[in-house]
Structure 1
Amino acid sequence: MRKIFMAASALLLVIGGLLPMSVKADTAIDEKLGVPIVVLGANLTDAEKESVKKNLKVEDAAEVEEIEVDGNDLVKYIKDGNNKARMYSSAKITRQDEGKGLVIKIVTPDNITQVTNEMYATAMLTAGIEDAIVEVAAPKPVTGHSALVGIYKAYEVSGETLDTERTDVANDELDLATKFAKDSGIDKDKVAELLTEIKKAIADNKPATKEEVEKIVSEQLKKLNIELNEADRQLLIDLMDRIRNLDIDFGKLSEQLSDMATTIKEKFGEIDPGFWEKVKQFFENLFDSVKSWFK
């Protein structure tokens, strides 16, 4: 029994050594960029708000600013938005220094059913949001769309100004991304990769006409081996042509999208690629040792 206990202890020590080390949160107030902003869906109950704040680890911050997002905000940032829309998904935004890029984390993945980290990120780049840590949460299953509006509001509260034409296009981009994943059966990460690669090609090649945008879309669909029906393909072309016509610094966007593309391709890179092989080898050695005890 003592040997088994020692083996179990060794197992915990080895796995603890193999897993990436967690980083202690910095609880100091950032006097340059401001405190994190927590934006809560207006339709949450008091109990749900507390649940969301717990998931977003609000208590770990030295100080936060709390705001609510409702249907009136939806109308502000999205054309033809419904001011009666119910808002549940919430977010915490922590601004970062220029050049740090976007870090997106859905902290309640079981409750954000349609939108992925990458979908949020690519839409936020379209909207003009960059250099921030964004965490998204909901207390019950929701699609996750309203969190984007909350992110817009929080970003402006932090002192930035967003172009509402860009936020409108970004919302349509998110809608189209979730539509492709839901209705066309395309993997969510593949959808995010498609949108990122098309926008990167637009940023790099600077198409002057809608026909040139259509060519880029066709090339990327073929490259990623994605098939869309004609109606969805046209929706994608129309959206990307709108993005082409936005007042965007495409040189800067190209760099951001390159980082985004790398992030998507290395989605599972947070853990050492050899981690699971080390664990497998450890268990094989452990089982061999345990068997030898009973011979």
Structure 2
Amino acid sequence: MKQLIAALLATILIIPAFGTASASDHNTDEGIDERFGLPILVLGGNLDDNQKQEVRDMLGVTDPASVEEVIVTGEDLVRYIEGEDSRARMFSSAKITREDEGHGLIIERVNPENITQVTDTMYANALLTAGIENATVEIASPVKVSGHSALTGIYKAYEVSGEELDTARLEVANDELNLATDLAEGEGIDQEKVSELLTEIKQAISEQNPATREDVEQIINEQLANLEINLSEEDRQRLTDLFEQMRNLNINFDNVSEQLNDLSTAIQDRLSDVVNDEGFWQGVRDFFQGLIDAISGLFGGSEEEPINESQQ
């Protein structure tokens, strides 16, 4: 009976796949923007030659002359982030194309299944903290990685392009990314919900201009309440420490308020998609459960076991 049901399901379960335009698909026929130079392709230093070519293919680099290629290593990591390990293995890679003022920050993981902890919006939040804006950033890895090292590669790309970044801001951005992934993993909070929390705190700081640590803590508590997120006391303190660092560095989020608004909208859209997807897939499960029950009834299959959804 189970084999018959499986065969029937296999013949009727046809789910359409919908693709979305990726950053890698953008038209490159317009030529190189001489104001910004070539896009920069940053390859993880621990990739072998075959993996490097795989990354080039994923990021749409068919002509080596169309990009400036650099390698990022653990030595770069310790130059940008104090206290890191120069022996760190670097696999995450990225292509960075600088854009006109007002373009905003566009982030895309071209193979998100291999970048397991850091989302597009987490990258965007950290990069805005680091002082990077108005760019298209495409991230890839030929092996499964957390995705943290891509941030160092992006920093190096900007250094290569001649822009000087504030190392204190880079370290805070790195702390922010680590905290974001820790909250998602340790507290079990949806990754986009974590990004929404960080974005909303930044927007509130921009609007309220807190003068003390207590003011920062109040903003954080308000946003946690607004988003109905419960954190341990330890993680609340980590959030407060992070944004107190930003306040002490005088990071002015007014400068990127429009991009924060865009990021907030993108996060809301993604959270909405997740809810809709859950509703769709529950409908699919309900439909096929009903179908299986009906088929079982036709064959007098009272011995059939119910589907265990945790195994689907």
Q: What range describes the TM-score normalised by the shorter chain of this pair?
A: 0.7 to 0.9
Structure 1 residues 187 and 24: alpha-carbon distance in aligned structure 2, compared to 1, 3 A threshold: closer
What TM-score comes out, normalization by structure 2 length? 0.78
Say yes or no: does 1:255 pair with 2:258: yes
**Structure 2 partner of 1:119:** 122
Identity across matched positions, percent: 56
Q: 1:54 aligns with which of 21, 33, 57?
A: 57
Of 151, 155, 159, the match for 1:152: 155
Across the two proteins, how many residue pairs are aligned to each other?
A: 257
Runs of 4+ residues over 6 Å off in structure 1: 18-23
Matched, 1:194 2:210: no
Residues 15-44 of structure 1 deviation map (CA, whole Å, 9 limit, x = unaligned)? 99x987786522312112111100000010
The Cα of 1:148 is off from its aligned counterpart by 0.3
Q: Which amino acid aligns with 1:169?
A: V
Question: Which residue does the alignment assign to 2:134?
Answer: 131
The worse-fitting range, judged by mean Cα deviation, of 205-214 and 76-85 is 76-85
- Counterpart selection for 1:105 from 103, 108, 115: 108
- The yes-or-no answer on 1:175 pairing with 2:186 is no
2:167, 2:100 → 1: CA distance?
A: 23
CA contact (8 A) 2:43 2:72 kept: yes
Change (3 A) 1:61 1:263: farther
Deviation at 1:161, TM superposition (A): 1.1
Please list every run of 5 or more consecutive structure 1 residues that lacks an aligned counterpart in the other structure. 1-14, 278-295
Q: How far did 1:249 drift? A: 3.1
Return the offset for 1:250.
3.0
Whether the aligned pair in 1 keeps the contact of 2:197 and 2:227 (CA below 8 Å) is yes
Give the corresponding residue for 2:28.
26
In 1, distance between residues paired with 2:257 and 2:26? 33
RMSD in angstroms over aligned alpha carbons? Answer: 2.3
1:223 corresponding residue in structure 2: 226
1:3 aligned residue: none
Shift of residue 164, structure 1, vs aligned partner: 0.3
Read off the aligned partner of 2:176 and give its amino acid letter: E
In the TM superposition, what is the alpha-carbon distance from 1:61 to its structure 2 partner?
A: 8.0
Out of 60, 81, 103, the residue aligned to residue 84 of structure 2 is: 81
CA distance in 2, matches of 1:190, 1:39: 29
Whether the 8 Å CA contact 1:71–1:87 is kept in 2: the answer is yes
Provide, for residues 82-133 of structure 1, a one-character-per-residue CA deviation record: whole Å limited to 9, x for no partner: 1111100000000001111100000011100000000000000000000000
Residue by residue, what CA displacement relative to the aligned partner does 1:187-226 show, whole Å, maximum 9, x if unpaired? 0000000000001111111000000000000000000010
Counterpart position of 1:282: none
1:228-251 deviation line (CA, Å, top 9, x unaligned): 011111101110111112233332
Q: Would the aligned equivalents of 2:202 and 2:253 in 1 still touch at CA under 8 Å?
A: no
Local SS of the residue matching 2:62: helix
Distance 2:252 2:28 in 1: 33
Partner of residue 38, structure 2: 35
| One-letter amino acid of the counterpart of residue 109, structure 2 | I
Q: Say if 1:24 and 1:167 are closer, same or farther in 2 by CA, change over 3 A.
A: closer
Instruction: Give 1:11-22 correspondences, 5 Å limit.
Output: none
Q: d(CA) in 1 for partners of 2:19 and 2:109?
A: 21
Q: 1:41 touches 1:90 (CA, 8 Å); kept in 2?
A: yes
Contact in 1 for aligned 2:206/2:254 (Cα 8 Å): yes
The Cα offsets for residues 158-180 of structure 1, whole Å up to 9 and x where unpaired, read as 22110000000000000000000
Q: Secondary structure at the match of 1:91?
A: strand
- 1-side partners of 2:167 and 2:20: how far apart? 40
User: Is the contact between residue 194 and residue 224 of structure 1 (CA under 8 Å) also seen in structure 2?
Assistant: yes
Separation of aligned partners in 2, 1:229 and 1:135: 34
The answer for the alignment partner of 1:287 in structure 2 is none
Partner of 1:291: none
Query: How far apart are the structure 1 equivalents of 2:242 and 2:124?
Result: 17
- What residue number does 1:212 align with? 215
